[in-house]
Amino acid sequence: MIKVMSLLLTFFLFFMTAAMTLADDGVPSPFSTTIKTPDTKNESEENKNDLEEKSKEMLEEVKTDITVMRLNWKLVPYAVKYKVTYDNEELITYINGIEVAVNDVSKIFKISALDFDGNIIQDDLNITEIETNPSTMKTTSEFDKMDYAPLYPVYSWIPKHNADYYMIQLLKNGEVVREYRTEDKKDDDIYDFYDEVPVNEGGNYYWRVKAMSKYGIELSEWSKESESVSFKVNAPTKFAAFGDSITHGGGAITVPPSMMIYNWETYCNKPIKNLGKSGDTTEQMLDRFDYDVLPFAPKILIIMGGVNDFRGTILGWRTVYNCKQILEKCKANNIIPVFVTPTPVNKRLINKVKFIDPPPFDWQTHYKYICEWIRQQEYHIDLTGEFEDYEGNLREDLTTDGLHPDIEGKKIIGQAVNEWLSTHSLF
């Protein structure tokens, strides 16, 4: 094996040297699309030094006969991260899987599920799968378990050892229709990607991902097509839900909507098309109504929005104005609108996690104004009594970050929607 790796390394060094020589001579190289041509001699030297450093890293792995092991375990409810321990090493991952480079495949691994503060909530997790030197990416989406894939899909995977970024493709009826690079999106996680373009055209879809180095070298093959990454888009759908990240799904800070556990539809017996988009204000919902809602021609539209309004700078009267416009659009298109009171927020927890902007001092005034208007609508679902604590804040036992409800909160929403639809079965 060492001889083979040595030959591969020799070929790699020769190929990279040839590529740099061609680039210096002004001749396009195989890396011209991923390595920018240096504008100065110093930049050229820096690039060469980077390549030499990468070669040293590869040589070191060959010398020590490094093996990459990919471990999987079941997702633990309310876990924000996981600690992987072996020998004297400790690694942290935010998904229920990891790739680890070892020089001894007989290593004993211990997996612990942690909360936001690093406290162990479940220890000695069972490893469900171990792979050695995997050539393809491992995806974690669960579209096969959903009645409908969300309008704005989230693509998720187990990070590749030493990957610098990822390429993602969405295919429709076997043809690539979109391609993304995670390095092109600021602050994107290394294990998921939120598609900001709706998938609203009928057809059979699946997505795939591969790992890349910063030099444009493929570090893996494309992930495989499977039921968990595949979904079908068709219309019309009888029930749909429209809103922001509370609608879209995900929870415990790190678990994306591509996984079922923190999605409210999981706890609703009715098949509902999720038209939520993370980060939306009610004005943004209004703006995308025609091209996100109308293609699916729902009979009933569950509307859950407003939290990004009152936790920001949008006043309650403006939120109500936007909701009235959405109401009129529904009536004009023979859609029954069912407004759901927005969930409150918890400023103390928001300040604790630090990565969410805290709400203004008077957020409750605007929140209550919105809820009061919703309670006056012919069709509505009032969840305020379930989510508010004695001070009117989001109950701390229902959230990790102070903004997004976790499992119990999503159960409350899903069961309430299910009850309303069951009660109003004449629709």
Q: Give the Cα separation of 10 and 93 in Å (integer).
A: 33
More confident residue, 12 or 409: 409
Q: Give the pLDDT mean for 4-17.
A: 43
What is the per-residue DSSP string for 109-145?
-EEEEE-TTS-EEE-SPPEEEEEES--B--B---GGG
pLDDT of residue 57: 59
**DSSP 8-class letter at 86:** E
pLDDT of residue 13: 42
Considering only CA atoms, which of 214, 108, 106, 112 is closest in space to residue 163? 214
More confident residue, 40 or 325: 325
Specify the long-range contacts of residues 120-128, CB closer than 8 Å, at least 24 apart. Answer: 120/83, 121/76, 121/78, 121/79, 122/76, 122/79, 125/73, 125/74, 125/76, 125/82, 126/73, 126/74, 127/71, 127/72, 127/73, 128/72, 128/73, 128/74
Predicted confidence (pLDDT) at residue 290 exceeds the cutoff of 80 = yes
pLDDT tens per residue across span 164-176: 999 999 999 999 9
- Predicted TM-score (pTM) of this structure: 0.84
pLDDT of residue 269: 95
Q: Give the pLDDT mean for 56-81.
A: 79
| Domains of the chain with CATH codes | 2-63 (no CATH), 68-132 (no CATH), 135-234 (2.60.40.1220), 236-427 (3.40.50.1110)
**Pairing status of strand 165-172 against strand 120-122:** unpaired
pLDDT of residue 150: 97
Low-confidence winner among 55-59, 215-219, 252-256, 258-262 (lowest mean pLDDT) = 55-59
pLDDT of residue 2: 39
> 389: pLDDT confidence band, cut at 50, 70 and 90?
very high
pLDDT tens per residue across span 310-357: 999 999 999 999 999 999 999 999 999 999 999 999 999 999 999 999
Q: Give the pLDDT mean for 295-299.
A: 97
List b or e across 270-290, with b for residues whose CB sees 16 or more CB atoms inside 10 angstroms: bebbbbbbbebbbbbbbeebe
Contact 238, 298 (CB under 8 A): yes
> 183: pLDDT confidence band, cut at 50, 70 and 90?
confident
Q: Counting Cβ atoms within 10 Å, is residue 228 exposed (0-12), middle (13-18) or buried (19+)?
A: middle
Residues of the chain above pLDDT 70, percent = 83
Predicted confidence (pLDDT) at residue 119 exceeds the cutoff of 80 = yes
pLDDT of residue 31: 26
More confident residue, 24 or 403: 403
Q: Give the pLDDT mean for 180-205.
A: 87
Q: In whole numbers, what is the pLDDT of the chain averaged over residues?
A: 88
pLDDT of residue 141: 97
Residues of the chain above pLDDT 90, percent = 80
Q: Is the peptide bond before 236 cis (omega within 30 degrees of 0)?
A: yes
pLDDT tens per residue across span 248-274: 999 999 999 999 999 999 999 999 999
Q: Give the Cα separation of 166 and 148 in Å (integer).
A: 26
